[in-house]
Amino acid sequence: MAKLYFYYASMNAGKSTNLLQAAFNYAERGMATMLFAAAIDDRFMAGTITSRIGLTAPATPFDAQTDLAACVRERHAQDPLACVMVDEAQFLTPAQVDQLARLCDTDGIPVLAYGLRTDFRGDLFPGSARLLAIADSLVEIKSVCTCGRKATMNLRLDADGRAIAEGQQTEIGGNDRYVALCRRHFTEALGRQPATQALG
């Protein structure tokens, strides 16, 4: 049975690199895949998935209005797909996540979605929340905080490198705007009182 996988991590953990490696593995075995990239992410060339280590691959851009199921079924009818892969899956709408689940359940096409779990405030993205709720397999890709602990949070920085606690959920940026931290250092950077101190 085809499954919906959600590979999640903090910023700079290698999500796109993992996706591109998986796509390469399928291609090496002569299996067709379809890759999707978030249209909102304009850091690199449109219609591509680009990793920080320099790997790239062409991809179909998606936004909130994209009917992913229709795109996949049209392509699948021409060239049977072994797998669908989605980069920046946090930008999916909950309805699009449901479309991907139906592709697994009805069409028998596995879907691998890669994305952030939480935003710069520590809140779930709607797409990630839906993936966490219904994906068949949840896989954490590990990253490291500056202290050596596992990084699970994404701290947003302003132009002067100061932590930002307010603003729009989505603001595209790389290492110049975000840093992955463990929960302790994320909380300290935002000047929030740890829960244990607040209770004491």
Q: pLDDT tens digits for 86-129?
A: 999 999 999 999 999 999 999 999 999 999 998 888 889 999 99
Contact (Cβ atoms closer than 8 angstroms) between residue 107 and residue 76: yes
- What φ, ψ does residue 92 adopt, rounded to 5°? -70, 150
Q: SS3 for 83? A: strand
Beta pairing, strands 4-9 & 56-58: unpaired
Q: Catalytic residue among 28, 74, 88, 166, which?
A: 88
CATH of span 4-142: 3.40.50.300
Identify whether 74 is a catalytic site residue.
Answer: no
Please write the tens of the pLDDT for every residue from 132-147.
Answer: 999 999 999 988 888 8
- What is the rounded distance in angstroms from the CA atom of residue 34 to the CA atom of residue 120? 30
Q: Helix, strand, or coil here: 95?
A: helix
Q: Count of CB atoms within 10 A of residue 128's CB?
A: 25
In the block, tokens 């592709």 appear at: 103
Q: Which of 49-63, 106-120, 158-172 has the lowest mean pLDDT?
A: 158-172
